[in-house]
Structure 1
């Protein structure tokens, strides 16, 4: 499902991404919003800019930790989590060797086809409910 941007600045950021990055970043955005909508514990998602990148927060329930989507210096697409959480290590333990990771802060993708709604949805769900 395509969801409109509530903030024109965020839409402009996505519009500015190159053709190698935009489809995958939009797919991650959709997966974040769909995952949040499917879990009533998460509440409304706030889409904002953090460090100039689209970020997703749970300001009402405060159930989760921030997720960000943006290109990475080593990949056209990345899903970033807070590096001081256990999210990436938990993800890596659950799905060993299935993704390229940047330490404790990101999952890296070379293209949108590498995004697995089940596997990466698992990580997104854990991030959105990290404080529960």
Structure 2
């Protein structure tokens, strides 16, 4: 159960996930929204679907790049957080957190359902993504 009300446009998408995956994705969603609230310059987050995946955009402030969440493939026990592949975010995450998380190419952080999610590290990664364009300008 999420701390935040799910937009109607995303309710069915989350209902379509297996319960154990849905719980993990809702936890990621909560962490993204919490991070946005405490990160200067981010503002309100727009929640929508992109490529059929729950997506989080900084439409109001234009401060960051899109974050998407999804299971990696049906029934394989993995889920992931996706970032725009033309950013340097995954490279930066790898430098900062080489052992804490598993990465998929230059586009995602992957988790197994039974992984302990490194919340502090992941929140830092979310803050970097949500302020990507702000930090690029500096």
Give the TM-score band, short-chain normalised: over 0.9
Q: Offset of 1:19 from its aligned partner?
A: 2.4
Unmatched tracts of structure 2, length 5 or more = none
**What is the match of residue 123 of structure 1?**
125
Matched residue pairs, number?
131
Q: Offset of 1:24 from its aligned partner?
A: 1.0
Matches within 5 A, 1:17-56: 17-56=17-56
**What is the match of residue 16 of structure 2?**
16
Instruction: Kindly provide the CA deviation profile for residues 14-52 of structure 1, in whole angstroms up to 9, marking residues without a partner as x.
Output: 111012311110110000000001123101100000001
Are positions 1:77 and 2:68 aligned together? no
- Please give the TM-score of this superposition, normalised by the length of structure 1: 0.92
Instruction: Kindly provide the CA deviation profile for residues 81-118 of structure 1, in whole angstroms up to 9, marking residues without a partner as x.
Output: 00111111100000113221110101111126522220
- Please give the TM-score of this superposition, normalised by the length of structure 2: 0.89
Matches within 5 A, 1:90-129: 90-111=92-113, 113-129=115-131
Whole-angstrom distance in 2 between the partners of 1:44 and 1:55: 13
Q: Which moved more, 1:55-64 or 1:70-79?
A: 70-79
RMSD of equivalent CA atoms: 1.5
